[in-house]
Chain A
Amino acid sequence: MLELRHVGKDWQARELLRDISLSVAPGEAVAILGPSGCGKSTLLKVIAGLEPPDAGSVHWAGQDVTRMPPERRAFALMFQDFALFPHLNVQDNVGFGLIEQGVGKAQSRALACDMLERFGMGAFAKSRVQPLSGGEQQRVALARALITRPRVLLLDEPFSALDAELRQQLREEFRQRIGALQIATVWVTHDESEARAMGARGFRLVNAGLQPVW
Chain B
Amino acid sequence: MQPRARWLLAAVPLAFLLVMLVAPAVRLLWEGGQLSLWAPLQDSYLRWRLLWSFLQAAITCAAALVLGLPVAWVLARLDFAGRSLVLRSLMLPFVVPTLVAAMGVLALCGPQGLLARLGGPDLQGSPWLLLYGNLFFNLCLVVRAAVEALQHVNATHVLAARSLGASPWRAFWRVEWPAIAPWLMSALCLVFLYCFAGFGLALVLGGSEYATVEVEIYTLVAHELQLAQAGALALWMLALTGLVTWAYAWMQRRLSAPARFDAMPLCPPQRWTQWLGVAAALAVLGIVCAAPLLAIAWHAALAGPAAWGVLLEEDTLQALWNTFRFSALALALASALGLLHALAARHSLLLRTLVFLPFVVSPVAVAFGLLLLYPQWTDSAGLLICAYGLLAYPFVAQSLAAALDHMPVHMAQAARSLGASPVRVFWRITLPLLRPALRRGMAFAAATAVGEFAVTLFLSRPEWATLTTLIYEHLGRPGALNRDAAQVLSCLLMLLALVAFVLIEWPSQRPPAKARHA
Chain A residues close to B by CB (< 8 Å): 45, 48-50, 69-77, 79, 81, 83, 85-87, 96-97, 99-101, 130, 133-135, 144-145, 148, 154, 161
Contacts and interface: CB of A to CB of B under 8 A. Distances in A.
Contacts of B435: 87
Interface centre among A48, A71, A81 (most CB of B within 10 A): A71
B365 to A, nearest CB: 42
Interface string B430-451: 0011010000000000000000
Contact of B416 (A71, A87, A145): A71
A97 B416 contact: no
Contact of B421 (A45, A69, A74, A144): A69
17 contacts: A48-B413, A48-B417, A50-B416, A69-B416, A70-B413, A70-B417, A71-B416, A73-B417, A75-B417, A77-B414, A79-B413, A96-B415, A96-B428, A100-B419, A100-B420, A130-B513, A133-B517
Interface centre among B419, B421, B432, B516 (most CB of A within 10 A): B419
Contacts of B416: 48-50, 69-71
A50 B413 contact: yes
Nearest to A47: B417
- 3 residue pairs, one from A and one from B, having the closest CB atoms: A134-B518, A97-B418, A100-B419
B243 interface: no
Interface in B337-384: none
Contact of B518 (A50, A69, A71, A133): A133
Contacts of B413: 45, 48, 50, 70, 77, 79, 83
Given A45-B413, A71-B416, A134-B518, 20 more contacts: A48-B413, A71-B418, A71-B419, A71-B424, A73-B417, A76-B418, A79-B410, A79-B414, A81-B260, A81-B410, A83-B410, A83-B411, A85-B414, A87-B433, A100-B418, A100-B424, A133-B518, A134-B517, A148-B418, A154-B417
Contacts of B428: 96, 99
A81 B433 CA distance: 17
B408 interface: yes
A70 to B, nearest CB: 4
Interface string B498-518: 000000000000000100111
Contacts of A97: 418-419
Contact of B420 (A45, A71, A144, A145): A71
B414 A83 contact: yes
B429 interface: yes
A148 B420 CA distance: 12
Interface centre among A76, A77, A83 (most CB of B within 10 A): A83
Nearest to A161: B518
A69 B425 CA distance: 13
A81 B258 CA distance: 12
Given A81-B260, A83-B408, A76 B417 contact: yes
B516 A134 contact: yes
Contacts of A99: 428
A100 to B, nearest CB: 4
A99 B435 CA distance: 21
Contacts of B419: 71-72, 74, 97, 100-101, 148
A12 B505 CA distance: 41
Interface of B: 260, 408, 410-411, 413-421, 424, 428-429, 432-433, 435, 513, 516-518
A208 B408 CA distance: 26
Contacts of B260: 81
Nearest to B411: A83
A81 B408 contact: yes
A165 to B, nearest CB: 16
A65 B342 CA distance: 33
B417 A144 contact: no
A62 B419 CA distance: 21
A71 B423 CA distance: 11
Contacts of A161: 518
Contacts of A85: 411, 414-415, 429, 433
A99 B516 CA distance: 29
A186 to B, nearest CB: 13
Contacts of A69: 416, 421
A145 B432 CA distance: 21
Contacts of A148: 418-419
Contacts of B432: 87
B205 to A, nearest CB: 43
Given A81-B410, A87-B432, A134-B516, A50 B420 contact: no
A86 B491 CA distance: 40
A97 B425 CA distance: 11
B406 to A, nearest CB: 11
A50 B415 contact: no
Contacts of B410: 79, 81, 83
B516 A96 contact: no
A76 B343 CA distance: 27
A72 B422 CA distance: 12
Contacts of A79: 410, 413-414
A193 B517 CA distance: 26
A72 B421 CA distance: 8
A86 B518 CA distance: 17
A134 B260 CA distance: 13
Contacts of B414: 77, 79, 83, 85
B440 to A, nearest CB: 16
Nearest to A102: B419
A96 B418 contact: yes
Contacts of B516: 130, 134
A74 B416 CA distance: 10
B433 A86 contact: yes
Nearest to B431: A87
A49 B420 CA distance: 13
A83 B518 CA distance: 15
